[in-house]
Amino acid sequence: MDFLFDYIAHNTYWTILLIIHGLLAVALLGALTHQAMSVLVPVRQAAGSAGFVTRFRAVPAPGYAAAVCVLWIATFIFGAWIYSEYRIYVRIPIEQAGFWKTQGSFEMKEHLATIGLGLLPIYWYLWKNSGNADYQSARKWVTVYLAGACWFIFLVGKVVNNVRGFGS
Partner 1 sequence: MSTTAHTAPAATTAKSLASSGKFKTFAVVFGFSTAALYVACDMMGWPLFSYHPATNRLEWFYAPPRKGEGPVMYWYGWTATSMLGAATLGVLATFLPEQLTRRIPLALVWIVPGPGDPTAVLFADAVLDALAQG
Binding site for partner 1 (CB under 8 A): 66, 80, 83-85, 87-88, 91-92, 110-111, 114-115, 117-119, 121-125, 128-129, 134-135, 137-138, 141-142, 144-145
Work out how close the CB of 145 gets to partner 1 at its nearest, in angstroms, rounded to a whole number.
5
Smaller CB separation from partner 1, 40 or 122:
122
Please, which residues have CB within 8 angstroms of residue 98's CB and are 6 or more apart in sequence? none
What are the C-alpha distances in Å from 104 to residues 45, 110, 134, 154? 44, 10, 38, 15
Answer whether 102's CB lies under 8 Å from 159's CB.
yes
- Three-state SS for 8-44 is CCHHHHHHHHHHHHHHHHHHHHHHHHHHHHHHHCCCC
Work out how close the CB of 50 gets to partner 1 at its nearest, in angstroms, rounded to a whole number.
30
Work out how close the CB of 88 gets to partner 1 at its nearest, in angstroms, rounded to a whole number.
6
Smaller CB separation from partner 1, 23 or 80:
80
Work out how close the CB of 123 gets to partner 1 at its nearest, in angstroms, rounded to a whole number.
8
